[in-house]
């Protein structure tokens, strides 16, 4: 312990704290940054600072006292990180410029490691936080909102990660942006306990980002829910996908994803809870589907997926597909539409359950058939199909349906 203290004494001895404010040595943040040396801290007093861009090209800690405001005046980026071990905490950053090509943002990380963006408020920015080639950075406890997004074309993302690895995004609130959180070509990122609400496109958008985890997040009332695309080994645990309604809107889109896990999630009040296209070797385990239009749409190119111990309650359609061949395994799920019996009292139905109704097959082939929803004709179709199967795939079956919902 004594030797470790001696190791850090030179750093502690030479690091300084610089203060910015009306009555301080430095009147602007740029002045303090220019005077500071790597390892120094800068304390910024409460006030409005109309300056930018502020380029941080050395390891610094910037801390706002009383929530100082940095106003980009709609001209440019506000703060850029171009060094390792930078911390930004306690600020309100507003009115970044706009440039679609340069992805102008309130805070832009260019090639930085071990940096922290924490406890800040972002308002009325094009992109709020943009991380490019970041490594082992932390983004947590930030509030990110904007009113600039009248359409997807004129607003950027709340948090955008590109070509980065081991980025932690924790406990942030994001609203009003194009995508709440966007990841492209990243590795081993962790998205934890964020609330992404009322964003114009996706609450979360994964692209080509392998070996990542998102858990404990809430995705509420976003334009098209969440999309995970062209990725492997993604873990999705204990998230809530809720209130994503509209034409062709889903809670979760899975596009060309494989070797992944979807466990303990809640899907409520979505047009389609999960839409899967080209999804293979995925475990769907202990998820709860309730009050959705379609709980699960599995295209015919989805293969070798396992669905077990899930609850399907009060959905218009539990399962739908666009093909006749099914190569997925359904086992021990709870289906509220199951009308079987359990004579041996082992809590598993004695007769198999076919979750794919004839009506859902017809709707998939011809959406106009939805006009017949809740009519006697639809009930007659489904009952006839159970007696004389003709159009629904015989292999689309849960041979061990549960009699009671899975406890979660």
Look up the CATH architecture of domain 15-209.
Answer: 3 Solenoid (2.160)
Does residue 397 surpass a pLDDT of 50? yes
Inter-CA distances, 286 with 167, 262, 306, 347, 395, Å: 27, 8, 11, 17, 22
Q: How many whole angstroms separate alpha carbon 314 and alpha carbon 337? A: 8
Q: What is the pLDDT of residue 310?
A: 98
Q: What is the pLDDT of residue 1?
A: 46
Average pLDDT for the chain: 89
24: part of which helix (H) or strand (E)?
none
Among the ranges given (198-202, 309-313, 358-362, 387-391), the one the predictor scored with the smallest mean pLDDT: 387-391
Give the pLDDT band of residue 102 (cuts 50, 70, 90): confident
| 83-88 mean pLDDT | 98
pLDDT in the model for residue 3: 46
Beta bridge pairs of residue 56: 81
Mean pLDDT (whole number) for 168-195: 97
Query: Would you tell me the crossing angle of helices 376-387 and 358-365 to the nearest 10 degrees?
Result: 110
Average pLDDT over residues 133-161: 92
* Confidence (pLDDT) at 368: 60
Q: What is the pLDDT of residues 284-309, one digit of tens each?
A: 999 999 999 999 999 989 999 999 99
Answer for the pair 331, 308: CB distance below 8 angstroms, yes or no: yes
Q: What integer pLDDT is reported at residue 150 of this predicted model?
A: 76
Question: Mean pLDDT, to the nearest integer, of 342-367?
Answer: 77
Average pLDDT over residues 25-49: 96
Instruction: Say yes or no to pLDDT of 377 above 70.
Output: no
Contact in structure between 253 and 226 (CB atoms under 8 Å): yes
pLDDT at 386 over 50: yes
Residue 251: its pLDDT value, please?
96
Structure token digits, residue 160: 């955008």
Ranges 7-11, 76-80, 265-269: which has the least confidence: 7-11
Residue 360 has a pLDDT of: 62
Q: Between 211 and 369, name the one with better pLDDT.
A: 211
Domain ranges of the chain: 15-209, 224-356+393-408
Residue 248 has pLDDT above 80, yes or no: no
């Amino acid at each position: 312990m004594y030797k470790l203290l001696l190791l850090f004494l030179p750093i502690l001895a030479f690091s300084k704290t610089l203060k910015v404010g009306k009555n301080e040595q430095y009147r602007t943040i740029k002045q303090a940054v220019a005077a500071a040396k790597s390892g120094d801290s800068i304390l910024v007093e409460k006030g409005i600072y109309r300056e930018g861009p502020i380029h941080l090209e050395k390891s610094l800690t910037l801390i706002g006292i009383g929530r100082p405001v940095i106003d980009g005046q709609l001209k440019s980026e506000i703060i850029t990180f171009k060094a390792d071990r930078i911390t930004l905490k306690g600020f309100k950053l507003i009115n970044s410029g706009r440039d679609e090509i340069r992805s102008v943002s309130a805070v832009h990380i260019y090639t930085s490691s071990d940096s922290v963006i924490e406890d800040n408020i972002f308002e009325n920015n094009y992109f709020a936080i943009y991380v490019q080639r970041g490594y082992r950075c932390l983004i947590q406890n930030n509030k990110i909102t904007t009113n600039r997004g009248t359409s997807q074309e004129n607003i950027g993302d709340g948090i955008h990660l590109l070509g980065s690895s081991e980025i932690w995004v924790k406990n942030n609130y994001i609203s009003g942006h194009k995508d709440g959180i966007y990841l492209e070509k990243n590795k081993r990122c962790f998205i934890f306990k964020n609330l992404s609400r009322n964003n114009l496109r996706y609450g979360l958008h994964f692209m080509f980002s392998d070996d990542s985890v998102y858990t404990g997040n809430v995705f509420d009332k976003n334009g098209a829910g969440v999309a995970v695309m062209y990725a492997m080994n993604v873990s999705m645990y204990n998230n809530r996908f809720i209130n994503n309604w509209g034409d062709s809107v889903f809670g979760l889109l899975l596009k060309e994803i494989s070797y992944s896990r979807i466990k303990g999630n809640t899907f409520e009040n979505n047009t389609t809870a999960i839409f899967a296209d080209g999804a293979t070797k995925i475990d769907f385990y202990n998820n709860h589907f309730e009050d959705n239009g379609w709980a699960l749409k599995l295209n015919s190119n989805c293969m070798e997926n396992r669905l077990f111990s899930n609850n399907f309650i009060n959905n218009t359609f539990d399962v739908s597909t666009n093909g006749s061949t099914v190569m997925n395994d359904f086992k021990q799920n709870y289906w509220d539409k199951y009308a079987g019996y359990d004579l041996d009292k082992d809590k598993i139905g004695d007769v198999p359950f076919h979750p794919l109704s004839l009506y859902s097959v017809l709707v998939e082939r011809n959406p106009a058939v939805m006009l017949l929803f809740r009519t006697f004709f639809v009930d007659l179709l489904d009952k006839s199909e159970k007696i004389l199967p003709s159009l629904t795939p015989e292999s689309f079956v849960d041979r061990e349906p549960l009699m009671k919902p899975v406890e979660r």
